[in-house]
A and B are shown apart, each in its own frame.
Chain A
């Protein structure tokens, strides 16, 4: 069964304290891995898509990397506005359905 597991469930950082979020997956034939950011009471906002092991993508203080079994979202020198829940997802089936992990809730304190 295809699964996506994210860790930790919650992460509290001080402003400027870099860290990483983990997303491990078990799917037959990875066809992409997606990272989203979700603010409270809002829909997820797309961040990155990674397709192959070794691929990296960056956006401001965020960098996503992919291996054959997991993906990391590295946050460098985070700011309070980076506080959100970060979700990762992988496609299942041929219709574009995404299986989501439960997310990591990130809190960055000033």
Chain B
């Protein structure tokens, strides 16, 4: 069976500090991978998606970056956090060989930038 792991669950960081959130998927090969952010009252916003190792597409310009160093590993980073980076970050995957397949989400990371 497929599973998705995301950590840490909560994170409190000062403004200007770096960020690294990690997500790994088990049980499926070559998944499509996604980072979403959920801010209060704004719904889920797609930040990045990846269809393969080293292939990253960004949906919105921002202070964040993403990398996919291995097939089933997706990392969200920032060199210097801003207050506006606070939110609930969700990693997700879908099976690449099925068109319009549903997304499976991780448990999320609640990031507070103070």
**B-binding residues in A (CB < 8 A):** 31-32, 34, 36, 41-46, 49, 87, 89, 91, 95-103
Contacts and interface: CB of A to CB of B under 8 A. Distances in A.
Contact of A32 (B6, B100, B106): B100
Contacts of A103: 43
Contact of A96 (B32, B41, B105): B32
Contacts of B106: 43
19 contacts: A31-B99, A42-B108, A43-B90, A43-B105, A43-B107, A45-B105, A95-B32, A95-B51, A96-B32, A96-B49, A96-B101, A97-B46, A97-B49, A98-B46, A98-B103, A99-B46, A101-B43, A102-B43, A103-B43
Contacts, number: 56
Contacts of B83: none
Given A95-B49, A97-B46, A101-B43, A43 B34 contact: no
